[in-house]
Amino acid sequence: MRALTSFAFDVRLLWRHGFFWIYVLVCALYWTVLQFIPDNYKETTVLLLAYSDPSAIGLILAGSIVLLERDQGIHDPLFVTPLRIREYLLAKAASISLLSLLAAWTIHLSSVGVPKSPLGFSVGIILTSSFMTLLSISAVAKCRTINGFILMSQAYGLPFSLPVLGYIGVWDTPLFDFFPTQGTLLLLQSAYEGLSINEWIYAILILCIWNGIAFLSARRSFEQHVLGRLGAGA
């Protein structure tokens, strides 16, 4: 129940600060650009946008919100309530994943139509956005300024973009199979082509494992760098 309440609070926060409207404009910009992409490149372009957009939303937006909450003094009263860190983190991941999902579906529907596998497409967006959100919180917990966070988030996030090089044929290596974003690209490809059972299992499993790692990292960073001064615990 506390997690649901925190989720509703985060959605209202995103709405109140205009993030939903910002993404209406972003989606409109993407749609305009896609009108100039040749049809034989459109699916690849939409897939890369569907990959990069939730990654950017999770990585940049989550950290920005945590910094905003810190500046507004929200954490002090928030964590003297029964709310636990795990509930706070899950609510952040869920609310930002919702925004990512809405943006990705809007881009896809307006440009190439309904994905062949709506479930695979949606799962890929949600698990990628939640991973990037938790990764972002791990980074931002250690930062005191927006400039410091931007540098830290890029250092955290850019290595996970390497599998894109394999997807576009620039450089490939079996090591990419250990990256969560390799699973992301597979699930997003299910929008256009079928996946084998092994590919489904691999893609969901690798993303879930990395979500777990990112959650533990975010929780530890938040405890040490944000709540340590409050004497609060999870």
Residue 151: phi and psi, rounded to 5, are -65, -45
Q: What is the pLDDT of residues 36-60, one digit of tens each?
A: 888 888 888 888 888 887 777 778 8
Q: Per-residue confidence at 233, pLDDT binned at 50, 70, 90?
A: very low
Q: Around Cβ 142, how many Cβ atoms within 10 Å?
A: 14
Q: What is the pLDDT of residues 177-210, one digit of tens each?
A: 999 999 999 999 999 988 999 999 999 999 999 9
128 to each of 53, 134, 172, 208, 234, how far by Cα in Å? 10, 10, 21, 9, 25
Question: Residue 99 corresponds to which amino acid?
Answer: L
Evaluate if residue 102 carries a pLDDT over 80: yes
**218: helix, strand or coil:** helix
Which DSSP letter does residue 74 get? -
Q: Per-residue confidence at 229, pLDDT binned at 50, 70, 90?
A: low
Parse the chain into domains and list their residue ranges. Answer: 2-230
Q: Around Cβ 136, how many Cβ atoms within 10 Å?
A: 30
> In 64-99, which positions are buried (b, 16+ CB within 10 angstroms) versus exposed (e)?
bbbbebbeeeebeeebeeebbbebbbbbbbbbbbbb
The 3-class SS string of 7-26 reads: HHHHHHHHHHCCHHHHHHHH
- Residue with tokens 């690849």, as numbered in its chain: 44
> In 27-47, which positions are buried (b, 16+ CB within 10 angstroms) versus exposed (e)?
beebeeebeeeeeeeebebbb
Q: Measured between alpha carbons, how far is 141 from 176 in angstroms, rounded to an integer?
A: 28
47 to each of 75, 127, 191, how far by Cα in Å? 37, 16, 9
**pTM higher than 0.95, yes or no?**
no
The 3-class SS string of 112-181 reads: CCCCCCHHHHHHHHHHHHHHHHHHHHHHHCCCCCHHHHHHHHHHHHHHHHCHHHHHCCCCCCHHHHHCHH
Q: What angle do CA 127, 209, 181 make, to 5 degrees?
A: 50
